[in-house]
Homo-oligomer: A and B are copies of this chain.
Amino acid sequence: MLIPRSHPRATSLHIREKLVSGYKSGLVVEEGLLAHGRGEMFDYLIGEKTSKYALKAIKAASETLILAKSPVISVNGNFAALCPKEIVQLAKVVDAKIEVNLFYGTEKRKRNIANVLKKNGAKEILGLDPKHSRTIPKLDSARRIVDESGIFSADVVLVPLEDGDRTIALKKFGKKIITFDLNPLSRTAQTADITIVDNVIRGMKILINYSKKNIKKKNLSKTRFDNKKNLLESINLVQKNLWRMSHA
């Protein structure tokens, strides 16, 4: 589809095309397109750039992933469609496992996602072999399945663009949760330990760069991070932008 350069939302439209093409190649489901639309709206409200509050969360996320014993990056269709290369890069830099974990899961879609990640350099992808599946409590059937050597035994899980129910269940199951969520009010955003309120395409690149620097440090330690406070700052930013945009 041809996007006129003059269109005020050209960048956003190009990102959207990645998702639509992910949909057409069997990575993304219809509900994922809708979810992306909701994200687009909040991206628009935060000004379509990485805020200083997002940077703070990215910093905390980078330290937490590097200092984790068994970090896992949980990948769903939208995440894979938007930044497959960055997923593989981050996993390498912070030495994390990659697990495919879907809300609306079919074996075929899981394989499609795994293939895209492999094309982008991933060696091992968890979440595909039913022999290694375990369940996390307090979640309905399909969504509770995780890989025994992945999310099941992880201490830290990066679950971007995640549903609230699953985030809450993972948290109750004792995992430390890092997420990307453009809606600072969502249940996932409010439940996670570290919420990066940013577009994954922008935020993942920064997270990788931070982590490349952090990994070289001899005595890396965790900076204090207050997720609730940081989320309130993001909400304030949205309020300010609403005012600014409506008085332009």
Enumerate chain A interface residues (CB-CB to B < 8 A): 1, 4, 7-8, 16, 19-20, 23-24, 30-31, 33-42, 44, 104, 140, 164-165, 183-185, 187, 231-232, 235, 238-239, 242-243, 245-246
CA distance A40 to B183 in the complex (A): 12
Q: How many copies does the complex hold?
A: 2
Contact partner of A235 (CB less than 8 A), chosen from B37, B38, B40, B242, is: B242
How far in angstroms is the closest Cβ of chain B from A170? 17
Contacting pair A30 B23 (CB below 8 A): yes
Contacting pair A20 B16 (CB below 8 A): no
CA distance A34 to B19 in the complex (A): 10
Q: Which residues on B sit within 8 Å (CB–CB) of A44? A: 38
Interface centre among A4, A30, A36, A187 (most CB of B within 10 A): A30
Q: Which residues on B sit within 8 Å (CB–CB) of A24? A: 30
Contact partner of A37 (CB less than 8 A), chosen from B20, B36, B164, B231, is: B36
Contacting pair B30 A41 (CB below 8 A): no
Q: Which residues on B sit within 8 Å (CB–CB) of A238? A: 242
CA distance A41 to B242 in the complex (A): 14
How far in angstroms is the closest Cβ of chain B from A75? 20
